[in-house]
Amino acid sequence: MTTSSTSTTSASTSFTSGSINVSGLGNGTDFNSLIDGLIKADSTNLTTMQDWKATWKAKVTGFQYLNTKLLALKTSLASMNTVNQFLTRSATSSNDTSVSATASSDALTTTHSVVVGQLATNDIFTTTTGVSALTSSITASNTNLTFSYAGQSYTISNISAGSSLTTLVNYINNNAPTNSKVRASTIYDGTAYHLQLYGMDQGAASQIVISNTGSLLFSNASFNNTQNAQSALIKVDGYPSGSGNWISRDTNTVSDVIPGVTMTFKVANSNASINIGIATNTAAIKANIEAFVSNVNIVKMSIQALTAVSNSSGTAAGSLLTGNYGVDIISSKIDDVLSGMGLGFVNYNAATQSGDYFSALSQLGIGTDADESSSTFGMLLIDDTTLNAALASNATGVASLFSADYAGSSDTKNFSYLSRINGTTKPGNYAVSVITSATGISSATINGVAAGIDGWRITGLSGDSSGLVVSIDNHTANSTFTGTVSLKQGKTGELGDTLTELTSTTDGPLAILEENYGSIMTDIDDKITREQQRLAAEKSRLQTQYARVDALLNTLTNTQTQLTSTISSLSSSS
């Protein structure tokens, strides 16, 4: 009797090595697919946690996106947060080739007459003696050159024998500190090269005096004052009167004669009066306002996109950050700045003509679109008619509302704002009360809190008024003075400070939320890791279990084959 053994096993199991490979049975059963299906069915929690983490990660990405928009707005506001940046004055000259001018926000809108009697010049000395070539020797022995400039003596020492004109020029120009006061050059007249010394400053006091030329080819007498240092002489608005009286300046660019106006003198003519006109550039102010509104709306649109609720097929669905309290805080704080009264501003009182002509953006025709059916719902809008009227009536007041930079004022002549501590004193309105005695100030309070007293000055010691210094101008004894000192901050500065708080990397709402969400994602990662480890162990257990099943089925199959063969043999022999 012949027996045969045929193995149909396609699974191998090694319990010693720990490696298990289950690829199926001869009957077509695929244990790997079966195990993968069981693990997938058991991975619901893992999938949920991974989806959960992805949601938190998307929220953090949303925070980061919004933060970049807030920082971009903050940067744009920094370019217009002072009156001089926001309020544009233009200056025109009736003869720009003789006198040109520019104006800052401090300039008054008026016209000035200017007469330029003399331009400022620097001192220039040129030698009458020259040499035929720049390389020609100008001294036969070691020597020095001594001169004075603006009363200060300088010596160029150790000029070597045989030095050329070029070498001497380099000696002077490379000699510190002489080179910052007097420079040397050469001038060629077509036949000879001459040494030239010129002062670096304009003005009558900036004179060069040659005192000792040593053994140089150029003697003291050889130096000719070809241009004499002199100061600019001008008259402004007829002042000073008299033919020989002038305002003198040691430069042709003058910014300290007319407040807020910088003039550049180009041609002198004592018989010609030139008009400098100063006007407010309302178009530039409006452009700044439009830029402010546009940049704010970029942030508002970003917040809307992150928090919008859609209603598809009658079912409301929130966006990534719908209802997020951090984003709600940001939106609310920005809206508070935009809708509130300017810090330190006071409503205008027409009867007393006191206070601020404009104290809120709404007075300029700037407000939020409240029409939910509008495509610009929630955005800032500008009513051009109202804004144009405001600019026409009081452009300075408009600019102040946007860009006042801690402008101090008092509503009484008894005391005045003096100074503050930058970064400490807050903008706002401060109630001041001062009681005097025969010896001076006996007591003083700011916002009801005792103030420090130093002579006729008082200083805020705590809270928002800390560092605020008020000068008491009325020294009447045994009197009580009360009033309000205001520190104004415009909307660009207020919003900029608010954005600084909101984008703080330590305690800003977005930073705090990002940190909290990071902790949540770390916890989820730990749970994911544990779940992955559990599923890996479960898969290993199933692989071992089904490998044993496969081995058992293989044994049974072999046994069946043997029995079938035996029966077949017995049937044949019978």
Do 395 and 413 reside in the same domain of the chain? no
* pLDDT at residue 559, rounded to an integer: 86
Do 199 and 272 reside in the same domain of the chain? no
Residue 557's alpha-carbon distances to 70, 125, 257, in angstroms, are: 73, 120, 113
Do 420 and 562 reside in the same domain of the chain? no
* pLDDT at residue 90, rounded to an integer: 92
Do 309 and 367 reside in the same domain of the chain? yes
CA distance 524 to 537: 20
In a domain, residue 306? The reply is yes
* pLDDT at residue 496, rounded to an integer: 95
Query: Contact at 8 Å (CB) between 378 and 368?
Result: yes
* pLDDT at residue 572, rounded to an integer: 78
Our count of domains for the chain comes to 5
In a domain, residue 361? The reply is yes
Cβ burial, residue 144 (10 Å; 0-12/13-18/19+): middle
In a domain, residue 512? The reply is no
Long-range contact set of residues 285-288: C-beta below 8 Å, sequence gap at least 24: 285/86, 285/87, 285/88, 285/391, 285/395, 285/398, 285/399, 286/387, 286/388, 286/391, 288/80, 288/86, 288/88, 288/402
> At 184, is the secondary structure helix, strand, or coil?
strand
Write out the residue range of the structural domain in which residue 210 sits.
Answer: 122-227
In a domain, residue 514? The reply is no
CA distance 335 to 494: 12
Do 539 and 563 reside in the same domain of the chain? yes
CA distance 22 to 183: 93
Residue 291's alpha-carbon distances to 121, 294, 332, 456, in angstroms, are: 44, 5, 21, 45
Do 366 and 291 reside in the same domain of the chain? yes
Do 385 and 315 reside in the same domain of the chain? yes
In a domain, residue 1? The reply is no
Do 365 and 414 reside in the same domain of the chain? no
Q: Which of 246, 262, 280 is the C-terminal boundary of a domain?
A: 280
- One-character DSSP codes across 286-348: HHHHHHHHHHHHHHHHHHHHHH-EEEETTEEEE-TTTT-HHHHHHHHHHHHHHHSPPBT--B-
* pLDDT at residue 27, rounded to an integer: 47
In a domain, residue 481? The reply is yes
Q: What is the DSSP letter of 179?
A: G
Tens of pLDDT, residues 366-424: 999 999 899 999 999 999 999 999 999 999 999 999 999 999 999 999 999 999 999 99
475's CB contacts (< 8 A; 6+ apart) are 436, 440, 456
Do 96 and 215 reside in the same domain of the chain? no
Do 415 and 454 reside in the same domain of the chain? yes
pLDDT beneath 50, residues of the chain: 1-28
In a domain, residue 5? The reply is no
pTM, two decimal places: 0.72
CA distance 555 to 553: 5
Residue 406 dihedral angles phi and psi, to the nearest 5°: 55, 45
Do 325 and 384 reside in the same domain of the chain? yes
Do 310 and 352 reside in the same domain of the chain? yes
In a domain, residue 431? The reply is yes
